[in-house]
Amino acid sequence: MLREYIHALPKVELHVHLVGSASVDTVVALAARHPSAGVPTDRAELAAFYEFRDFDHFLKVYWAVQSMLRDRGDIDVLVTGLAAELAAQNVRYAEVTVTPYNHVLDGMPGDELLAGLESGRATARDVHGVELAWVFDIPGEKGIVAGRETLTFALGERPDGLVALGLGGPEIGVGRARFEPFFTAAREAGLHSVPHAGETSGPATVWSALHDLGAERIGHGTSSAADPALLAYLAEHRIPLEVCPTSNVRTRQVASVDAHPVRRMLDHGVVVTLNTDDPPMFGATLEGEYLAVATSLGLRKSEVAALAANGVRSSFLPASRKDELL
């Protein structure tokens, strides 16, 4: 069975947001403690709350959940919960996106955030056998100040496991190029560059992420499929796309997994990796993403294994650890 085959593959997850990984149980418990956040405490109501009209509506819901996180204990619960979920799917390693600037704006001191990340990461490793790394991302809609503060926090604290700088949030009206100084400084300091681009805007945003931010992987990159020259560039330079099919469906960027341009990306030789983005919010699991894409594209087992291997090779793990997972 394909399902068992997918489960048995050693997998990595390269695009998952910590806040968006909060389990339904965790969100319901937080909502009971923080009624003013407006997040339902009833599971059926929460499912309805997670029906997104569009990407901007999704972000508002995401921010409401984020606003309920206040201290290291809340962060630890999220990190350990994510690790348990990953372990159950035979996901051995994940690069998890955290948005420090947003947490600080919501009243969580930076040292609380770091303490929760650190304790959760230790539990992930020691109890669940899952290795976690961090991507600190700039919430682009909050402008240059968010870029400066995120970079200062990242390079000043430099927590264990921090591997990359990211850029998230809306793309329309939030040009990638304005964040160039922060990505340049981050790269000079040894961090990788993994901005979102082409999730909610066109291929020009992906070009800008490549040229202005030195992107080494692209978060989503969905609209790259509309630009054959861009697909050729991504293939030639082996810049992986962090494709999140169910996310794109649930935020209404594509009509269905069958309508997702992942086939076109693969046909052009682009390195495609499969990821979940914000799994419980989208009703997604990493195994489910593999199964949906394999079914939709009619992939053979060897092709499914190649997708998992793309994830491993595209990760920022050292070569020796990659070899263990291949």
Q: Which residues bind ligand ADE (CB under 6 A)?
A: 17, 20, 62, 168-169, 196, 199, 247, 277-278
And the tokens for 289?
Answer: 């993403």
Q: Tell me whether residue 85 or residue 278 sits nearer to ligand ADE (CB atom).
A: 278
Evaluate the CA torsion angle 286, 66, 96, 175 in order and state its sign. Answer: positive
Please say whether the beta carbons of 142 and 106 come within 8 A. no
- Angle 34-35-41 from CA coordinates, rounded to 5°: 100
Q: What is the DSSP letter of 253?
A: S
- Which of these is catalytic: 171, 199, 242, 287? 199
CB of 20 to ligand ADE, least distance (A): 5
CB of 55 to ligand ADE, least distance (A): 7
20 binds, among ligand ADE, Zn ion, none (CB under 5 to 8 A by kind): ligand ADE
112 binds, among Zn ion, ligand ADE, none (CB under 5 to 8 A by kind): none
242 binds, among ligand ADE, Zn ion, none (CB under 5 to 8 A by kind): none
Q: Tell me whether residue 51 or residue 126 sits nearer to ligand ADE (CB atom).
A: 51
Q: Tell me whether residue 265 or residue 281 sits nearer to ligand ADE (CB atom).
A: 281
Chain centre to alpha carbon of residue 134: 10
Output the residue with the shortest Cβ distance to ligand ADE: 168
CB of 228 to ligand ADE, least distance (A): 25
Number of Cβ within a 10 Å radius of residue 263:
16
Q: Tell me whether residue 166 or residue 299 sits nearer to Zn ion (CB atom).
A: 166
Convert residues 267-306 into a mask of x (bound to Zn ion by CB under 5 A) and - (unbound).
----------x-----------------------------
CB of 136 to ligand ADE, least distance (A): 13
Q: Tell me whether residue 17 or residue 217 sits nearer to ligand ADE (CB atom).
A: 17
315 binds, among ligand ADE, Zn ion, none (CB under 5 to 8 A by kind): none
287 is an active site residue: no
**Per residue in 122-141, is it b (16+ CB within 10 Å) or e — as a string?**
ebbeeebebbbbbbbbbbbe
Return d(Cα 148, Cα 34) in angstroms, integer.
30
169 binds, among ligand ADE, Zn ion, none (CB under 5 to 8 A by kind): ligand ADE
CB of 17 to ligand ADE, least distance (A): 4
Query: What are the strands, taking DSSP E only, across the chain?
Result: 11-17, 91-98, 131-139, 162-168, 192-197, 218-220, 241-243, 272-274
Q: What is the DSSP letter of 19?
A: G
Number of Cβ within a 10 Å radius of residue 156:
8
Question: In Å, how far are 176, 180, 234, 296 from 141, measured between CA atoms?
Answer: 11, 15, 26, 34
Return the active site residues: 199
Residues that bind Zn ion (CB under 5 A): 277
